Structure 1
């Protein structure tokens, strides 16, 4: 079926593609979207795709400002730029655990070099693994694997003249997101959370004012947002009141005081921190494993199909649109990474361990690439794969006698490399699909991905260290939900000191939700995170529901709402990183205006309404 496919730019036509403009813009966007997604993922445990916003911004600059007409140049920008978001997603799912351990005095903080090296190993492996798989998954199965984000990105790039007006939505969103973040966390002029205490119910309702949360809800849509909110309701309006009502004077582990004392001193938040967090961790771990088990037959089948397709698709083609990176360079690069992993102190494993990391990495990367082709990046069970990897690695390390600090570092390092590789492979496959539709040169895209990985790996360490110094991983500001959960799993296996009763309560809640036919993972994430996050995310989902109902799900959003929300996320994330820099150098205290400007629930509520109205206006546009 792929023989009949003709790309937008024919193979015999050469147009500007890998130019200084496209590479420099792509590298800048890789760092920006990498930092923004790192911040977002550490706050709410979810990241958003950077491909379409990067494509739109590149069209605004290259097509509108520079007056150049080259769709492949724009494609190169999004190829390089989206690498940052994927690498950041893999890194923040695992590596913050090392910082939390350092804060607890268990080990030293990871160095900038260690973070960069681990991120680089995982990112390069993800790109290298996709080189031999490209012909099998992208070319041979064109029309079978839809690759929804890659195809959508190609459609955006082919929209041509519409790119300029679409870019405007991204930039306006970035401006508003930056302004709100600066007002709330920079000047401290507005309270960050709207809180309504409900003493009769022994709990409280809360909603954060941040635009990124509303944007996540809008982009994910009403169903996923509702599942997350349902998890929040279960935690804060069922479990917390039940614990307070029936706990009374009982001292329940892990708290060291009675439930009534805990509630009197810290309110519902203290109950959440001591009990619900562990229930939520059990639910998330269980949901991740359930998603992996559900897709296991498909995973095995698609991996076998991929290997068969590679062996059948060995013919050499010298057409521009079929040129891949030299397989000798790819295999040499993989071999060099195996040796580097073995010799690098940041990844404390033997040579056999380094080889197993690459074997497991290739397996999960090929699975990830095909899964995003079938169901899209948003539904790719990378977290489930990482949980499975962490569990297997920790058990193997403990059996071999590698316990304590060294074993815990090893488990996280192994999980990090494989998680980043799987995320990068999924992103690379989406980008290569976009390029296949447009008629890009694969080898140039693959080189672009490597450049994006290098830039993002160099930046992610600094971003993570800054964010940890400013806010602290595992805190209310940066919950780092996945990494905290990975930490709990490793500690549980190594030390056996987890409150297992709470973990199993969460696990069986997750199983019950799955039996009811509801996706357990978003519900579990909502249970694990504070209610103030999932309630604001739900607001974004309700705005999307309103737009879809009013104008129809297919044409209700002309794309401007998604782009505007992507801009809000990017703007807030960038200012979050900048404020982290100012916090570290001690300037944020001097900017604090809370002493002279009255803050409270009313101002927070007004800001939530303003941001919600802006998202609604962007989504509706000029429609009546």
Structure 2
């Protein structure tokens, strides 16, 4: 290793002089399976709530449970390869669902080969463009860039050396609970999946929650602060904006664009569809750009450091490098990037042309560099991927329009370019965490990078089919799958290329985001809550509330025990997310085969039963973190 911070050479958990089984057939097969499963789960989650979570820790735990418990294999580096492949797959799913569903919402025919091409080119670009940055970001700045998820995953892997069976059971238990609830609600339709009520003497004001365990798990993982800001956005939409529009329009026969009916005839859902979603879109766009603007100093520093770091890296010779410092040869990296850009420019599937290919090359490298560094500071969940994608989309849309591309053709081209860039950013950011994990445990970089490409390939080949299944079963942009980020991309692209945006509503959303930012809150999180139905963000808040209670119960414990307790809850929450998400995909597959096999009506319509089930899941989440014997 070449990290000489403070004059002392860093020594990983497995030294460079020692070789263990790493990129094995067993690890590859297990990694492919998990990359597909977690890619599908993250896609479903991103469509449902507009947020995704890292799969590195649950993947590492599952890998240890299978490789150690079943196959009796004890190589930490083999486990690292599995979680690396899984993360690449789930990151690709995250990047895909923030943009590609916009194409489904347009109602145009989308061929599977086009979807596969988009996600694979974006995923491979993310990997290739990250390779030259590894030595600078992961090695040279080891002491300054913590890469929180990557460091945490390394600790889990090292702890697992002493046995990780109990941790794996938490994930499996959560998976079972999440899957069972999903099947009972959306499969057998035994009881309702939401609880909702109006408020007396408060016209068009509704509050409620869904009972989906995945949303509960998300809330626990992101914590009470972020969950609270998210539900605050939902409350503003449901208890302020919608009732205000209904009140002032109660006696009005005017038809105000973009609605096509008189104001006085609109109910709460129609008000949301015609007005609130545009306000929310403006808020999300502004929140994303504000997040990006706040990182401009880091972006500038990153670009400067990158050029300096790459120049210094020229002094390395392959024959002098240790096992733990060998990347894929730069020659093949540059060839890979060049081939991908040329193929994108002239491919017959997307037809983005030279304009799109140049935009992908420029914004891809610029923002991959930014994403790879930013996640090292704030973590993957706080990376401004949305803001960078919005910036790309706006500039590309203007470029295409200036060359005469408008209407549906221009919108599709713009969304395609944004989708490739977004996928590259998401993949690059997440695999940066994996390379940090590998650096700490003593993995071989080039083997991890190959594993990343295999994970991208595995998830990418099925991602288009998964998205198509979900669209056919639930409908992109519906209440079941709001796809808030993709809906925003569609609105912005249509507005620029067709010139038909209700700009007043958009700017109201922008103003709200600015005000929220001045209040010291995360404007992007608030804006996502503003855009989503309240019953989704409220469910997330319940998870955050469980985390808040847990934090209070364990606050007097030692730091090490606190971390262990939160990790237990995170594993159970990850299981909830994976279980519900994957069963959601399976139900969608069943519907695609025989739509009539799923009942259309709920057997039990009483709202107390689903709420009771939801409270039981909340209790299970709590006790998975703070066992009964620890409560006192």
TM-score range, shorter-chain basis? over 0.9
SS of the counterpart of 2:295?
helix
| Mapped pair 1:618 → 2:620 | no
- Cα–Cα, structure 1 residues 29 and 306, in superposed 2: closer, same or farther, change >3 Å? same
SS of the counterpart of 2:207?
strand
- Cα–Cα, structure 1 residues 593 and 467, in superposed 2: closer, same or farther, change >3 Å? closer
Which runs of structure 2 are paired with 1:222-621 in the superposition (5 Å)? 222-250=224-252, 251-263=255-267, 268-314=268-314, 315-316=316-317, 317-552=320-555, 554=559, 555-556=561-562, 557-587=565-595, 589-592=596-599, 594=601, 597-621=603-627
| CA distance in structure 1 between the aligned counterparts of 2:541 and 2:138, rounded to whole angstroms | 35
1:187, 1:593 within 8 Å by CA — same for their partners in 2?
no
Shift, 1:593, TM fit: 8.4
In the alignment of these two chains, the number of paired residues is: 613
SS of the counterpart of 2:280?
helix
1:232, 1:534 within 8 Å by CA — same for their partners in 2?
yes
CA offsets, 1:388-420, max 9 Å, x none?
Answer: 000000011111111122211110111011111
1:11, 1:439 within 8 Å by CA — same for their partners in 2?
yes
| CA distance in structure 2 between the aligned counterparts of 1:608 and 1:318, rounded to whole angstroms | 54
Shift, 1:584, TM fit: 1.1
CA offsets, 1:295-321, max 9 Å, x none?
Answer: 112112212211211111221233111
Question: What does residue 5 of structure 1 align with?
Answer: 10
> RMSD across aligned C-alpha pairs, in angstroms?
1.3
Shift, 1:353, TM fit: 3.5
| CA distance in structure 2 between the aligned counterparts of 1:498 and 1:151, rounded to whole angstroms | 44
- Cα–Cα, structure 1 residues 255 and 560, in superposed 2: closer, same or farther, change >3 Å? same
| CA distance in structure 2 between the aligned counterparts of 1:598 and 1:57, rounded to whole angstroms | 36
1:126, 1:420 within 8 Å by CA — same for their partners in 2?
yes
| CA distance in structure 1 between the aligned counterparts of 2:597 and 2:90, rounded to whole angstroms | 32
SS of the counterpart of 1:221?
helix
Question: What does residue 132 of structure 1 align with?
Answer: 132
Question: What does residue 172 of structure 1 align with?
Answer: 173
2:175, 2:580 within 8 Å by CA — same for their partners in 1?
yes
Shift, 1:162, TM fit: 4.2
2:359, 2:417 within 8 Å by CA — same for their partners in 1?
no
Question: What does residue 105 of structure 1 align with?
Answer: none
Question: What does residue 186 of structure 2 align with?
Answer: 185
SS of the counterpart of 2:164?
helix
| CA distance in structure 1 between the aligned counterparts of 2:581 and 2:122, rounded to whole angstroms | 23
- Cα–Cα, structure 1 residues 165 and 517, in superposed 2: closer, same or farther, change >3 Å? same
SS of the counterpart of 1:475?
coil
| CA distance in structure 1 between the aligned counterparts of 2:77 and 2:120, rounded to whole angstroms | 26
| CA distance in structure 1 between the aligned counterparts of 2:393 and 2:578, rounded to whole angstroms | 30
CA offsets, 1:8-57, max 9 Å, x none?
Answer: 11111111001111110111000000000100100100011010010000
SS of the counterpart of 1:440?
coil
| Mapped pair 1:57 → 2:58 | no
| CA distance in structure 1 between the aligned counterparts of 2:531 and 2:237, rounded to whole angstroms | 8
| CA distance in structure 2 between the aligned counterparts of 1:246 and 1:40, rounded to whole angstroms | 36
Q: Which stretch has the larger CA shift, 253-262 or 14-23? A: 253-262
CA offsets, 1:517-557, max 9 Å, x none?
Answer: 11101111110000000111111000000000111184442
Q: Which of 25, 44, 47 matches 1:42?
A: 47
| CA distance in structure 2 between the aligned counterparts of 1:221 and 1:539, rounded to whole angstroms | 10
1:473, 1:480 within 8 Å by CA — same for their partners in 2?
yes
Structure 2, unaligned stretches of length 5 or more?
none
| CA distance in structure 2 between the aligned counterparts of 1:16 and 1:143, rounded to whole angstroms | 28
| Mapped pair 1:75 → 2:77 | no
| CA distance in structure 2 between the aligned counterparts of 1:409 and 1:620, rounded to whole angstroms | 49
CA offsets, 1:207-245, max 9 Å, x none?
Answer: 001001111110000000000011011111111111111
Q: Which stretch has the larger CA shift, 59-68 or 25-34? A: 59-68
Question: What does residue 88 of structure 1 align with?
Answer: 93
CA offsets, 1:398-451, max 9 Å, x none?
Answer: 111111222111101110111111111111111110000011111100000000
Q: Which of 204, 210, 216 matches 1:208?
A: 210
Shift, 1:346, TM fit: 3.1
CA offsets, 1:480-527, max 9 Å, x none?
Answer: 111110000011101121111111111100001111111101111110
| CA distance in structure 1 between the aligned counterparts of 2:270 and 2:555, rounded to whole angstroms | 43
| CA distance in structure 2 between the aligned counterparts of 1:349 and 1:471, rounded to whole angstroms | 29
1:348, 1:409 within 8 Å by CA — same for their partners in 2?
no
SS of the counterpart of 2:54?
coil
SS of the counterpart of 1:144?
coil
SS of the counterpart of 2:197?
strand
| CA distance in structure 1 between the aligned counterparts of 2:303 and 2:214, rounded to whole angstroms | 36
Structure 1, unaligned stretches of length 5 or more?
103-107
Q: Which stretch has the larger CA shift, 609-618 or 529-538? A: 609-618
1:338, 1:351 within 8 Å by CA — same for their partners in 2?
no
2:573, 2:621 within 8 Å by CA — same for their partners in 1?
yes
1:91, 1:420 within 8 Å by CA — same for their partners in 2?
yes
Shift, 1:594, TM fit: 4.5
SS of the counterpart of 2:171?
helix
Shift, 1:199, TM fit: 4.2
| CA distance in structure 2 between the aligned counterparts of 1:198 and 1:254, rounded to whole angstroms | 27
